[in-house]
Amino acid sequence: MSQRHIHYEAAFEDYLRSVGRPYIAVDDAKKAVFGGAQIKSFDFLVYGDGPTNWLVDVKGRKLSLPSASSRGHLENWTTREDIVGLSQWARVFGDSFAGLLVFVYWLTEPELGLPFAGLRHEFRGRTYVMGATTVAWYASQLRDRSRRWGTVSVPSKVFRGELKSVDRFF
């Protein structure tokens, strides 16, 4: 396992290893440059069973279920740069690659029910639930969250309806 300092990414990598899924972890210190332009990097290249391989960007969020459940809110923001970068890399890699946003939620109160039909994974004494959606879908639904910070999100109700357990992609 690579040295992942961000616990959300480390938890996702542990999940991939636990199910024997082939992957390559991208080293941020060695960001790739393509055609003279630096493109925002992704976190993992994950090989699929079918025709699609996934360029994965992990989005980690802390989730307190009582507040998320009562408001029906599920944080899903990212940066516009993340969406553009994953879309560009998918074009560079070719037709058998697609961008995938993997949302890894750290459940601060794991004894409560899950906020969506995600994959539950225990790692280093913490409980996570992992869901994913394609970058293409996310890009078609996104709304500006903060123009100043360059962040975007999808309305929570729409996002919940589309978010799938991460294991459905692998």
Find where tokens 């394609």 sit.
134
| Distance (Å) of CA 58 to CA 30, 70, 76, 134 | 18, 26, 11, 12
pLDDT at 111 over 90: no
Find where tokens 């058998």 sit.
96
- Percentage of the chain surpassing pLDDT 70? 85
Q: Which of 7, 96, 105, 81 is nearest to 45 (CA)?
A: 96
Lowest mean pLDDT among 9-18, 110-119, 134-143: 110-119
| Distance (Å) of CA 127 to CA 59, 105, 117 | 15, 8, 15
pLDDT bin (cut points 50, 70, 90) of residue 13 is very high
Q: What is the CATH number of domain 7-168?
A: 3.40.1350.10
- The whole-chain average pLDDT of the chain stands at 88
- What lies within 8 Å, CB to CB, of 77 at 6+ separation is 145, 151, 152, 153
- Distance CA(40)–CA(107), nearest Å, equals 28
Find where tokens 């225990």 sit.
122
Find where tokens 């980690």 sit.
60
Residue spans of the domains in the chain: they are: 7-168
Q: What is the pLDDT of residues 123-143, one digit of tens each?
A: 999 999 999 999 999 999 999
- Which is it for strands 78-79 and 143-146: parallel, antiparallel or unpaired? unpaired
Q: What is the pLDDT of residues 16-72, one digit of tens each?
A: 999 999 999 997 655 565 556 578 889 999 999 889 999 999 999 998 765 555 455
Rounded to the nearest 5°, which phi and psi values hold at 127? -110, 130
Given a contact cutoff of 8 angstroms between Cβ atoms, the answer to whether 115 and 105 are in contact is yes
What is the model's pLDDT at position 66? 59
**pTM score, whole prediction:** 0.90
